[in-house]
Each structure stands twice: as structure tokens, then as C-alpha cells.
Structure 1
């Protein structure tokens, strides 16, 4: 695999787990063939951190900005609201920088976080506001869809979004194929190797609609260990085995898919 190189389409390099050794993490990823890490935000507090990382490692870290549908608070976690979103001044923060994509946005209808129709409606309103930003800035979207795969894909189509990545998608194959028909991409982390539940899904999604991610520091091959971008080849090898094609083929096609999906990554790598 020496000639292969990768793009990690969804990771969290601003996570607390990387605070002490981020330089080593990035250097290891380079040696493993990872040319670019699309580092996403979950909350506004990460915006300045990811900008700083992108400035320190311009050849490796591609910054993305967005507000996740589930927000951390002093009392645990809560579903995002329009009021909270507007209080963050998120649009001005995103317009002020050159963003690779609008992310980490989407819907999360996990029952223990979201129990009412009002909460689901609020999430959809915030999702729509961020999709409007993506359309205004002509940026792709990097989308979360936990317990809401069908609703998320339908909503993206309703909002006129066609350049989207469904990260760590775990919905039904029939739902994923609706996204495939719309031209969406789906990315999978190393955690897919822990069991074979995703195999049927991966088998049915065309390789031309698949990208690679690590979701570092989470979703590695071993739950108890910190995940890193260098482990992206594990996801690549698993997908190759499921689809019965060479690892080199998966590497080449998924990298091409990522470059099409994220034009600013492609532009940065050519500079």
C-alpha cells in the first residue's frame, strides 16, 4: 500500500485526548499515508482551536465548522435549540474563515437524548439554518444521522443539498440507497471491524459513494483504545474484504471520492 494515500473525512483533532501529543498524532498519520484530516467541530468552543490547528498544520489539517444536534451542558447533554444556535453567533464565525465544509451537523433522535416531537422539530430547524449556510458558501456538508437515517436523507433532499457525506452511517441499506440515488457519500471508521453488522450495508453501497474516516479519538478497532487518523487503513482493509476487491482499489476510489466531495481539500493539496 506504499503508493496509496488517504483522506480522513471525519475526525476530531481538537478533542481532549489529543491535547498532549497532537504533533505526534499528525506525524504518525503522515507516515501512514494520510494526506489530509478533515477535523470537525461539535461546539462553538472548538472553533478557535480547529482554526489554530489548521494554521499550524496547513498541509494536513482541514478545518470544518458546525454545531452538533446534541450539545454538552453543565447538566449533561441536551438537544440543540434555535435559541442556543443563534446565541452562538455561528454564521459570522463560519463566514470569517475558509471552511472545508459545514459540519458536524445533522439529526440525532437517540431516545435518551431526544424524547419529544418539539425537540426533533428544533433540531430540524437548526439543521436547516446550517444547511442554508452551506448553500450560501457553496460548501459540502458532513452529516450526523444517529437514529435518524431516513429522516436525515429525506431532509437533505428537501433542502436541496446534493453534496453531502453521511458519516458513520448505520441505517438500513434501503435507506442508504436513497442517499446513493441522490449522490450522497457514506464514510465508515475502523470500528466497523468490531462486528459484521455493517457488512451488508457496505456491500450494497457502491464504492463510488464510499469515503473513509476514523472519527478519532472514538470508533477505533478496539473500543478501549484511543483511535487516531493513522488507523484509517483498517477501515480501508475491511471494506476491501467485504467488497472482495483489492485494498489499493478501495484506497484509490475512496480518495478520489473525498477529493470530489471536498473541493477545498483538493485545492489545498495541489498548492
Structure 2
């Protein structure tokens, strides 16, 4: 497959990959992956993803972002993000503004057990909009989480004047997704989509010219109990091809073009 694949949303800097990241990257390359757009969720990951970019400068494309749910380490209680979670991250955006390819993973997560109260949802909006402002100041696209908040997320993006956005693992209504398409946004889907029949209509309605591929590794693979890897991007590609009634080669070609359009700094890293 000449075009290869670009994994537009994965978490290569997390602990789950710490022991064998070299092998994971080798397997990804063997599967035809040309680049990993590696997002972060909390400030402790920022330096880690930069070090991986330095170690694999032709493959790992770093992003910085504070996720709407914090406390990802096993010993920490998860909580809805606050401005206090964002503040320690702010200097890093400036320090590495020339290295990062996007601001992400950022967004909204209104899942009831994370954000049961309006105060928490309002605070998430503040953190999200603050990071959208950072992206605009740096001239960068955004890599966006929108669980149980698809409409609110797209509304915020449009209100903030964001022109370049990826809505990863989008699970909102097709009508809401099409508002994002109208705004010029892209949507990406991980391997787990192939075990969720409810997404068929969504994938059918979003034009291929607005779709990218992702794995969201180490999560959202075919099997919930098995660590997902970037090599599994082929599963996303084949599923989208089946739903769209086109060849996997066509999906690989168009989604790679879309990724390069959305994340122009990939060109600095990857030789396609």
C-alpha cells in the first residue's frame, strides 16, 4: 500500500508501552504505518512524548493536551478536569511550540460519573476553550475528545473560530457530525468501531474526505481485554472500506491525504 497509514490519535507515551515501545513501533512500521500522532492526557506525559519524538524523529509526531478527565494513574482518583490541572502545563506549550504538531488530547467528557454537575461541565468548558486559544495562538490544529458531549464540543470549536480539528472516536449523532463536516472538521475511528454496529450510519454519512484513521492505542482495540497497538490501524481501514463500499487502498490513500492536510507538521517528520 504505497500511501501507508497515519495513526492520527494514539497514546504511545503511556506506561502500557514503556517496556516494549521499540517493538510496538517496529510492528507498526511493518504494518504500513508511516507516522504516529501521539497525544497526551496530562502534564506528566509532555516530556515523555518529546523524548519519544527525539528517539523516533521520523515516526512519532508529538502533541500536548490536558484531557477532560484527569487522574489516569492507578493510584489517583479520576476527576473532571479543572483549571488547576491546566496551569502547570502552560509553560510547556511555549517551550515546545515548534516541536508539537497539534494541541491534544483536549475536549469535553460529560459522562455522568465524571461530570454529574453543571459546575464540573462549566469548568471543563473553561479548560477546553483555554486550550483552543493556545492552539489558535500557536497556529496549530486540535485533537479532540467529545464523549457524551458531541454537540457541545462542535459548538465550542465553532464559537472559538477553530478551523482545523480532529474529532477522535466520535460517537455523536450523524446530524451533529455533519455540522462538523460543514465546519471543515475531520473525524477518526479506532479498531473498536468494528464491534459497534451503531457507528455504521455515522461512518456512512461522513464523507471519506473528512475521515482519518486512528487506533487510540492502548485502548479501543478489537478486544477490550487486549492492549491495542498502532499496527491495528489496518482494522479501522478495512472496516471503513467495507462500510463505504470502496477498497482499503482507497481508504488508506484518502485518509493519509486528510491527515497531512490536517497536521501539516507531519511533513517535517515523515517521508512518504
Name the TM-score class by shorter chain. over 0.9
1:103-142 to 2 correspondences below 5 Å: 103-142=104-143
1:162-181 to 2 correspondences below 5 Å: 162-181=163-182
How far is 1:75 from its partner?
Answer: 5.0
Gaps in structure 2 of 5+ consecutive residues: none
How far is 1:209 from its partner?
Answer: 0.3
1:176-215 to 2 correspondences below 5 Å: 176-215=177-216
1:4-43 to 2 correspondences below 5 Å: 4-43=3-42
Counterpart of 2:220 in 1: which secondary structure? coil
How far is 1:152 from its partner?
Answer: 0.2
Alignment partners' CA distance in 1, 2:216 and 2:248? 20
Alignment partners' CA distance in 2, 1:75 and 1:223? 22
Superposition CA RMSD, Å: 1.2
For residues 161-205 of structure 1, the C-alpha deviation after alignment (integer angstroms, 9 at most, x for no partner) is 010000000000000000000000000000011131111100000
For residues 81-124 of structure 1, the C-alpha deviation after alignment (integer angstroms, 9 at most, x for no partner) is 123322x1x22101211111000100000000101111111111
Say yes or no: does 1:269 pair with 2:270. yes
How far is 1:4 from its partner?
Answer: 3.6
- Alignment correspondent of 1:69: 68
- Alignment correspondent of 2:244: 243
- Alignment correspondent of 1:222: 223
Alignment partners' CA distance in 2, 1:227 and 1:244? 26
For residues 17-52 of structure 1, the C-alpha deviation after alignment (integer angstroms, 9 at most, x for no partner) is 111110000011111110000111000001111111
Counterpart of 1:165 in 2: which secondary structure? strand
How far is 1:261 from its partner?
Answer: 0.3
Alignment partners' CA distance in 2, 1:28 and 1:270? 18
Alignment partners' CA distance in 1, 2:76 and 2:211? 37
How far is 1:270 from its partner?
Answer: 4.5
Q: Which moved more, 1:70-79 or 1:130-139?
A: 70-79
Alignment partners' CA distance in 1, 2:83 and 2:39? 21
Counterpart of 2:270 in 1: which secondary structure? helix
Alignment partners' CA distance in 2, 1:216 and 1:81? 25
TM-score (ref. length: structure 1): 0.96
Counterpart of 1:156 in 2: which secondary structure? helix
